[in-house]
Each structure stands twice: as structure tokens, then as C-alpha cells.
Amino acid sequence: MTDLKAITVVPGKPEQVQVSDLPDPQPESGTLLVAGRLLGICGTDVDIVDKGYGWPPPGRDRLVIGHESLGTVVEAPAGSGFTTGDLVAGIVRRPDPVPCGPCSRGEWDFCRNGQYTERGIKELDGYGAGLWRVEPDFGIRLDPSLGDCGVLLEPASVLAKAWEQTDRIFTRATWRPTVALVTGAGPIGLFAALLGVQRGLQVHVLDRSDAGPKAQLVTDLGATFHTGDVTDLGVTPDVVIECTGHGPLVFELAEVVAPDAVICLTGISSGTRTVAIGLDQLNKAMVLENTVLFGSVNAGRRHYQQAADALTKADRRWLERLITRRVPMSGFADALHKNDDDVKVVVDLNT
């Protein structure tokens, strides 16, 4: 009965990660029943397990973790638009129950009252199970040729949103960006670079180290890999997608960008670092140069679709190289801690 197992955690208690036997997911009318295939692990999972970010469903102390999903439909209600055998990934966020304006219009990624829920993160069980259910409106059917690379959809959707929002900001004037800088060459940075290259931009990627496969992955995309300080790069970016969550970098970026640049922050830092910065100087530089600095989180349905298109268009062998390690469900706790040569670690939900 391995397919009824789930990875459950108590947020903030790493010693309590368990593979638990769960009752068969209750047949809720209208939902798809999905056989879990792979689950991607990201920094948010580490924050949930190690640092206590995340919330179990009300009244429970355990959460089924996992928000980067991939599975195969085993039961699809008539009229759901899915059929048995479809490759599917689940959307993470659900609209708040009030709902606020954006949630009522399907823009849960812009929820205004913070009462949204998230599968595997905030008050809803996640996708880290041998079997899971999802409402058809929150399932994304993937091109079958993507195979295991479909597990990359969720992180790619977060970057699809970040780039879409960035593109929209650039419509404020008639000039168009040509040089992009991505800070951080983890999975999020690599997706930011992929989507930048697909837009025809000259892409530079900065990481604090060149250990592991990331430098080669960047080069093979046709982008340029750098290490070192952002101030010594010799690059003046029109657009920056910041993917490290390293706070002090934000202010350095605001100093090095081209006039009229857009800086998009996507990294969620669990740090509490404080640094002294010249706020007046920053204020003046940003005003005099029309700099836009903005944050972007999560993804709406259209961003998942944009990401699915981008993954389908990408070089499949390059995508496959992003999945550097597969662990069984029982290896989840160890897999939270990355080795130098890891990019994306995934859990095989069938073992």
C-alpha cells in the first residue's frame, strides 16, 4: 500500500518528519484522483521543516508537505477536461474564502487579505503523497513529452509570473530592455535565465560560487555566468530578476542598474540581517533614474500555462540536467539539505 503514504511534517520540528500511512484521500465530488509521481523540494520546504514557516490544516499538528507536484490522473470525473493517464501538476494557492477582489477574479496570487491557503505550505495538505486529489480547475495538464521534467512546472510558474509582471512594467515607456541580470543560479535563477533567453535578452547570471553544474547549465543556455561582487560585474542591466533573497544585494542592485531599469525580487529570505544603507542616496538614485523595484510571489493559472509552454519549448536534455538527485519518500529529510552538485532534488513518490 505504498501509494497511500505521505510525507508529513510538524513545522519547525525537523526531527518529526515522517512517512505516514494516510487514509485513502476522501473522494470529494468533482476532484481528480492523481497517482503522485515526483515531488520537487525547494527552500520553502526547508523553511517549513527547519524554521517553522508553514501552517498545518486547522486543528492538526501535521501537514502533508509538498507543493512542486507531478502525477498521473487515475480518476477523472466526466466533464473535468482530464482523462485517465494525463500528466498533471497541481496549482499551489487557493483563493481566500471571503474572497477579496483579486481572489474573486482568479488572481489568488494577488490576494489582498492574506487569508489565501497553499497546498503543502499554508493550511492545506500538499502533494507529497502516493495519491492526491486536486480540483480540475487547479490542475494543469502537461505535454506528455515533458515526462519527469513536468515536476519543474511550479517553480517555473513563479518565474513566469515574475517575468510577465516585469514585461508589463516595461510598457510604461517605448524603449525595450536588452540586458538582463539574474542573481542566484539555483533552480529559480536558472528558470529566470531560461525565460530571459527565451525572450531574446542577453542574460548574465551571478552566483556566489561556481561549484557544481550551475555554471555549465548557464553557459549551455547561451547566458553568461559570473561569480563575485555585483559592483564588479562590468554589466549594466536593464532588468534584474533577483533570486537569492539576500537582502543587502537589493540595495547594491539599485546602484548598478541602467537608467529606467526594473528590478524584480523573487527570493524569500528567512534571514534577519540588518545593514546600514544610505536611504536618501538610494531614494535620489531611484527617483532620478525611474528605477522600479518590486516583489513577486506565487503564480496564477495563466502563469502555470506560460511556464508549461516555456518548458515544452526548452531543450529537454537541459531540463533533465536540472534534476540532479532523486530520493525515496523516506529520504525526504536528508534531501532538504543540498550538496554542491545539486540543482533540483526530487522525491520519487513511488518508492
**CB nearer ligand BGC, residue 137 or residue 229:** 137
- C-alpha cell belonging to residue 278: 544610505
Cα torsion 65, 67, 73, 78 to 10°: value is 110
CB of 42 to ligand BGC, least distance (A): 5
**CB nearer ligand BGC, residue 44 or residue 291:** 44
CB of 177 to ligand BGC, least distance (A): 25
**CB nearer ligand BGC, residue 9 or residue 121:** 121
- C-alpha cell belonging to residue 292: 522600479
CB of 118 to ligand BGC, least distance (A): 5
Closest among 68, 24, 66 to 48, alpha carbons compared: 66
Strand stretches in the chain, DSSP E: 5-9, 18-21, 32-40, 63-64, 68-75, 87-90, 93-94, 117-119, 123-124, 131-134, 139-141, 179-183, 202-207, 224-227, 239-242, 262-265, 292-295, 323-328, 344-348
CB of 48 to ligand BGC, least distance (A): 9
C-alpha–C-alpha distance, residues 278 and 214, integer Å: 34
For 165, 197, 238, 305, the CA distances from 171, given in Å and listed in that order, are 10, 19, 14, 22
Q: What are the b/e assignments for 158-180, b being 16+ CB within 10 Å?
A: bbbbbbbbbeeebeeeeeebebb
**CB nearer ligand BGC, residue 86 or residue 109:** 109
C-alpha–C-alpha distance, residues 344 and 338, integer Å: 9
Interface residues toward ligand BGC, by CB under 6 A: 42, 44, 67, 92-93, 118, 121, 154, 158, 297-298
Residue 42, φ and ψ in degrees, nearest 5: -140, 180
First to last CA, the chain: 11
C-alpha–C-alpha distance, residues 59 and 231, integer Å: 49
Query: Do 263 and 230 meet the contact criterion of CB atoms below 8 Å apart?
Result: no
**CB nearer ligand BGC, residue 230 or residue 243:** 243
Closest CB to ligand BGC: residue number: 44
Contacts of 310 (CB under 8 A, 6+ apart): 156, 160, 194, 195, 198
CB of 278 to ligand BGC, least distance (A): 31
